[in-house]
Structure 1
Amino acid sequence: MKTKQIKNCDIDNGTRIGNFVSIEDSEIGSDCRIWRFVNIYGCKIGSECMIGSLVEIQRDVIIGRNTRIQSHAFVCSKVEIEENVFVSHGVKFVNDRYPPSGNSDAWESTMIRQGASLGTGAVIMPVEIGANAIVGAGAVVVDDVPPNAVVVGNPAEIIDYRD
C-alpha cells in the first residue's frame, strides 16, 4: 500500500514526512515536519516549518522559515506567509471575495508578515496582516491589520497593541 505520493519536488535534508501525504511540484526546506493526511502542491515552504495533519496548501503559496501551520488549516493560492508565523488550528484563507468566480485572475492575494499569530478558526480574507500582529480565535479579518495590533471579532476590530 502506497502511503505517500511525492512527485516533482525538491525536499531538503532532515525533513520528515508522515503517511497519507500528497506533495507535488513543491520546494520544501530542510528540517521541516509534515504530519499525516496533508495535501501540498505547487508551493514553496521554508526550512524548519511544521505542517500539521489535515492541512491543504495550494499552488503559488510561499511559507517562510520557522512557520507553524496547525491541523485542519486551508492555505489557498496567492497567500504569502513570512518567517516565524503561527497559524493555529482550522485557520482558513480566502482568495475569492465573490465565490465561485471561476476566474483565477480575479483572485486576490494575502500577506502575513513576520511574527504574526493567527488564532484557531480565524478566517483571513485577502488582506495584509502586519508584523507581530495577533488575530484572535474565530476572527473574520476583512481589512488590513497594522503591525503589533490585536484584533478579534466578526468583522475583526483592533482591541489593543502588543508592547
Structure 2
Amino acid sequence: MNQPELHQASIRDVEFGARVKLVEPCNVYGCKIGDDCFVGPFTEIQKGVRIGARTRVQSHAFICELVTVGEDCFVGHGVMFINDTFSTGGPARGRRELWRETVIGNRVSIGSNATIMPVRIADDVVIGAGSVVTGDITVAGTYAGNPARRLVQRK
C-alpha cells in the first residue's frame, strides 16, 4: 500500500506585529500580521498576505495569496478569499500569472461564509453573511447577496 505525502499545519515564516493572538490549529505562513490582531482556529493565511493592525480573522477563514486586508477589519467565520477566477475555463493549476489580487480597505467587516472574489473594497464597508462579492466596491456602505449589492450607503 502507498503512503501519502504528509504536510502538517504550521505557523512559519510570519512577520508578527506586537500583541498578536493566534488560536491553533491554524496554517499561517509567509505572511505579515499587524499589531493587536487576532487569528482564530482552523484558519489558513497564505504567503504574501498582509493583514493590518487590529484586524480579527475568525475561525475557518481562508485567505489566499495576493490578498491585503486593511486595519480595524473583521473577517467572519468561514470567509473564503479567491485568487483564481478560472479565466481559462478551469483552474490556473499553479500558473500565478492568471491569479488576481484582492485589496480590502480599512474598517471593513465581512460576515460569516462570505466569498470574496479578486476585488477592491473601499474603506467603511460591511459585507453581509453569505454574500458573494464579484466586483469592486468603491462606495462605503452595507452590501449583501449573490452577487453582493449595496443595501445602505454610509454617510
Change in Cα spacing, 1:39 to 1:94, as seen in structure 2 (3 Å) is: same
Question: What is the rounded CA distance, in whole Å, between the counterparts of 2:106 and 2:139 in structure 1?
Answer: 10
The answer for the alignment partner of 1:45 in structure 2 is: 33
TM-score by length of 2: 0.89
Q: How many residues align?
A: 144
Distance 1:50 1:144 in 2: 26
Amino acid at match of 1:101: A
Which ranges in structure 2 are unaligned for 5 or more consecutive residues? 1-7
Q: Over aligned residue pairs, what C-alpha RMSD do you find? A: 1.3
Q: SS of the residue aligned with 1:137?
A: coil
Gaps of 5+ in 1: 1-19
In 1, Cα distance between equivalents of 2:144 and 2:98 = 28
2:42 to 15, 38, 54: 54
Cα drift, residue 21 of structure 1: 6.0
Residue equivalent to 2:54: 66
- Runs of 4+ with deviation above 2 angstroms: none
Q: Distance in 2 between matches of 1:63 and 1:123?
A: 17
The answer for the alignment partner of 1:141 in structure 2 is 133
Aligned to 2:92: 101
Deviates more, 1:142-151 or 1:102-111: 142-151
The one-letter code matched in structure 1 to 2:91 is P
Give the aligned residue type for 2:125: A
Percent of aligned pairs with the same amino acid: 42
TM-score of the aligned structures, taking structure 1 as reference length? 0.85
Q: CA deviation at 1:147?
A: 3.6
